[in-house]
Amino acid sequence: MPKARVNGISLNYNVKGQGEPLILIMGCGGPGWMWFFQTRVFKKHYKVVTFDARDAALGKTDNPSEPYTMNTLADDTIGLMDHLGIDRAHILGFSMGGMIAEELAINYPERVQKLVLASTVSSASQIAPELLRLFGLDEDFSEGDWASVDVRQGFGSATALAFNSGLYRMLVGLLFPICDRLGWFERLKGQRGAVAGCDTLDRLHTIRAPTLVIVGTEERCVQLHASEVMASRIPNAKLVKVDGGAHAQVFEMRSRFNKEVLDFLRSG
């Protein structure tokens, strides 16, 4: 897979398909290849760009030791667009990827054609209390608290919150020891720190791109109400609730999810 030198790091990316550019930004810890259910469909209609963010599990992007913010991750994405000669693109962000996409749309409005925010929040305060408790935190947690959590502590239980399917929970469980041996849980501190500092709530009204906010009705990792607030604050945003979808709707509800995204991108 090719790499681009952007924002002080070597970033691993992949491009498939032709047409208008569509950039997919994965959630916390996830490498770009986790978009496989979307890439194989979207590449028939769009030039699909996926990449490994800093500190992504099993990814091939550099993992610098210094702390960074959601703005850093948005700048990484813009750097990749510049490297590929992409002036404007559709942006789809899932979970933490949605937080990155929000910052990108706010800070670089001229670079975003349409925006899709999936299973995400606009403030760390909107993380579900149940998820926080699994990691020994309360709702008054600080940025330092979240960044210093031992992810191993509640990883299995958090997976149960994210997925409805026992099969997916089992598959993620099989990756656990591999990620642990590769030191991913320690590196994840960087992304967790960025999530803890996330706060676009009072800036959402500045987003100019047509926006789809999509969330599962059985969301348990972030507050379901967060998507409603987001859609109400972004001008002319469309809110879609996927019946029966949990946090990992991009995997478990992929047919419905992909259809909603394609319908939105194709709409006038």
pLDDT in tens, 25-57: 999 988 999 999 999 999 999 999 999 999 887
Sequence-ordered list of residues with C-beta below 8 angstroms from that of 49, at least 6 positions apart, any chain: 13, 14, 15, 21, 22, 23, 24, 80, 84, 86, 89
Predicted model pTM: 0.94
Work out whether the CA dihedral 29, 26, 100, 137 comes out positive or negative: negative
3-state secondary structure of 8: coil
Task: Point out the residues of the chain with pLDDT beneath 50.
Answer: none
Write down the pLDDT at residue 34: 94
Record: fold of 3-266: Rossmann fold (3.40.50)
Write down the pLDDT at residue 48: 98
pLDDT tens across 80-122, in order?
Answer: 999 999 999 999 999 999 999 999 999 999 999 999 999 999 9
Write down the pLDDT at residue 268: 76
